[in-house]
Structure 1
């Protein structure tokens, strides 16, 4: 059978299950590719009739988050239906969760799924079998719920329940469904919680030797904390997933709309928190979630004298409208962004060049004398301090209750919230860039030419790779860790397979950190050339001559920002390398440009902070 109904040409199999096989096909009548689900001949006629009735009802569904059903028919005694073809893969391919825009894309996709569930439940449909494979994504990453073979339809004479029917996928089945109890739409919320857990962590909430062992855990045992599987998961997100996985339906969100509202608030908070960590989160991608939407219209909106030099590797961070920036004048400045004014001066005993770490309840910063201080903004007093044995010039990083502080004595210190040392790892060379948390590992690179991969909770060495000296952060995205060596060789590295994917020589010293996003890595150094490379292959996409670079690069709203030693600030269209805007007349710039909300901030070496906004 190569053609159905005289129009659907079967091209290649996509999968099969207990009741049906799925084919990629081409609809010759309207000239489009489709997916065809074809029931096996052995399916009982009564089941085929029920299936056909439900498909007819489901074909009336119309929502961008639901796979559309085009046609229903029968060929040689086999029932089939034709639906929208979605070729981006299963939902869990969006994970695991990582800090930065990569993680935000995953959560935005989860919002779209909840919107689809809200629509389905409003139409009287309980899906009953939500799994990663039943939530497909387009090539652009937009999710679409599909495969309603077990969906329960309601009408005016039926309730949102069915008893004694426990078909489904054990790894994602709600406890009440496992027990054959009556179902409500909250059973779908539980299943999506299990899908989300799998996507965020890389593992399902429960595993066992057989289906019964898994179902038992769904009914009686709590899932392992999500952060135990992936320390990059924020506390609020872990609590949200745990609520979806509550054993009792009444302990879950009341409906998909409420779950959507809760997750939307978490996303907004996470966006703001990303700005509080240097290089926009734990993966150090330099890719910020917001920024000026139209940089072509940027104009100087103000400036502020800081009273001290702002030198490499300085970088502003911000939280809730407060920007933090260190200077050579032995202090960390807290600056209100709008209107631009000095809010507070936090003291240090030496220069503050390492980017600070901002959170709702604390300001953490380090100085050249080796002191790491945590300031309590509510009490307006120092919470605690820790003294290392050498200068600190690299940014700290916080995750899962620990703060990782790199020092030029070659040690990475893990401090708890009270400032006590949980562990310390000796790298054997100066640490001039902060650690990167990615794919469940903590990466640190030293001037002695080695990159180390550590277990975040314990500091245990997992493996190390000889790279050559590195001064810049190690940015990561889409499964690729970038190793920017000081000599100018840039390596794309697979951190799980532990292999180099590609190498590119930019022929100049690399001080500033690359930026990663949109499938590209952007890197520029002392040679004065800016390169855009394909993240997967290392192939050059475009290059631009712009002058010597010490400052790290920043990416936001599809634009790349670079600042030069000759005092220029330039915005490129990230896809093409076209210069869309630039400003001149500043002093040498060694601090990374900072796109925050709708403005762009940059500080020059003389200690002047400039803010540009759309005119």
Structure 2
């Protein structure tokens, strides 16, 4: 009986050890699962704090706890060498190298920016909420700035050392890339929201007065095409054909 009792005790002790071992293993699995859940929740929390970026930006500009830029991104452009230029609503223009993904320089203005950067042959153009136009070198140095009395409502396009843009009051401007000085202006019938395009020494843009305007490089009207609706999208010139859409 004693022997049987001792054997029974040994069995019970062995069963206890097995149960303890099994319990220990379960606790380890539970602890690991708990830590994984905490980690995933932690990542999800910081992911929700990182804003979305424009399509095409494939690297984080803001990390958890580390701000690499100020303000919401308006838009970005990429040059032929792969460098990326972007602007933010907080009045900053950034240049980043596409290969190393590092900030090369940044330029800050005192007002909120209203446009993406526009690339010229040698310069970068951007304007703020007050329609002050800035011209920067590709090294981030301010070359000039000009106040435009009318609200700028188009992109900035460069051709042959001149920049062109339209305004809410229907004024189409040509200015010198070297100084920002006005060279000529053309008055349309309504707001201009269509960024100009160029073809065979002609300047083409749409207008809210339902007309597509075709100007010479000196600002004289060559032709206009009347439509039934506002022309706001960017026209497209392909070979001998001109394509444009209207705001239905």
2:191 matches 1:548: yes
C-alpha contact 2:74 2:86 (8 A) present in aligned 1:
no
Question: Which ranges of structure 1 fall in alignment gaps of 5 or more residues?
Answer: 1-387, 390-408, 416-420, 607-615
Counterpart residue number, 1:590: 232
C-alpha contact 1:436 1:475 (8 A) present in aligned 2:
no
| Residue 414 of structure 1, CA deviation | 4.9
Counterpart residue number, 1:570: 213
Tell me: higher relative CO, structure 1 or 2? Use CA pairs within 8 A at least 6 residues apart.
1
RMSD between aligned residues: 2.5
Q: Encode CA deviations 1:176-233: one digit per residue, 9 max, x unaligned.
A: xxxxxxxxxxxxxxxxxxxxxxxxxxxxxxxxxxxxxxxxxxxxxxxxxxxxxxxxxx
- Equivalent residue in structure 2 for 1:437, among 79, 88, 92: 79
Counterpart residue number, 1:528: 170
| Residue 454 of structure 1, CA deviation | 0.7
Q: Encode CA deviations 1:402-444: one digit per residue, 9 max, x unaligned.
A: xxxxxxx4635656xxxxx4x1224443334342326663101
| Residue 569 of structure 1, CA deviation | 0.7
Counterpart residue number, 1:425: 61
Counterpart residue number, 2:104: 462
| Residue 602 of structure 1, CA deviation | 1.1
C-alpha contact 1:438 1:476 (8 A) present in aligned 2:
no
What does 1:207-218 align with in structure 2 at a 5 Å threshold?
none
What SS does the corresponding residue of 1:492 show, helix, strand or coil?
Answer: strand
Q: Encode CA deviations 1:576-600: one digit per residue, 9 max, x unaligned.
A: 1011010123312221111122111
C-alpha contact 2:202 2:214 (8 A) present in aligned 1:
yes
What SS does the corresponding residue of 2:101 show, helix, strand or coil?
Answer: coil
Distance 1:556 1:410, change over 3 A: farther
Counterpart residue number, 1:603: 245
C-alpha contact 2:82 2:99 (8 A) present in aligned 1:
no
Max radius of gyration: which structure?
Answer: 2
Q: Encode CA deviations 1:477-504: one digit per residue, 9 max, x unaligned.
A: 23111123342111121122x2221222
Question: Which ranges of structure 2 fall in alignment gaps of 5 or more residues?
Answer: 1-46, 63-68
Counterpart residue number, 2:127: 484
Structure 1: distance between partners of 2:162 and 2:84: 22
Structure 1: distance between partners of 2:228 and 2:148: 26
| Residue 469 of structure 1, CA deviation | 3.2
What SS does the corresponding residue of 1:411 show, helix, strand or coil?
Answer: coil
Structure 2: distance between partners of 1:599 and 1:585: 17
What does 1:79-158 align with in structure 2 at a 5 Å threshold?
none
| Residue 458 of structure 1, CA deviation | 3.4
Structure 2: distance between partners of 1:514 and 1:593: 14
Distance 1:571 1:505, change over 3 A: same
C-alpha contact 2:154 2:167 (8 A) present in aligned 1:
yes
- Equivalent residue in structure 1 for 2:142, among 492, 500, 513: 500
Structure 2: distance between partners of 1:549 and 1:524: 5
- Equivalent residue in structure 2 for 1:580, among 207, 222, 225: 222
2:158 matches 1:516: yes
Counterpart residue number, 1:325: none
Distance 1:470 1:512, change over 3 A: farther
Distance 1:570 1:449, change over 3 A: same
Structure 2: distance between partners of 1:507 and 1:443: 26
Q: Encode CA deviations 1:45-71: one digit per residue, 9 max, x unaligned.
A: xxxxxxxxxxxxxxxxxxxxxxxxxxx
What SS does the corresponding residue of 1:433 show, helix, strand or coil?
Answer: strand
Q: What TM-score comes out, normalization by structure 1 length?
A: 0.29
C-alpha contact 1:523 1:530 (8 A) present in aligned 2:
yes
| Residue 540 of structure 1, CA deviation | 1.3
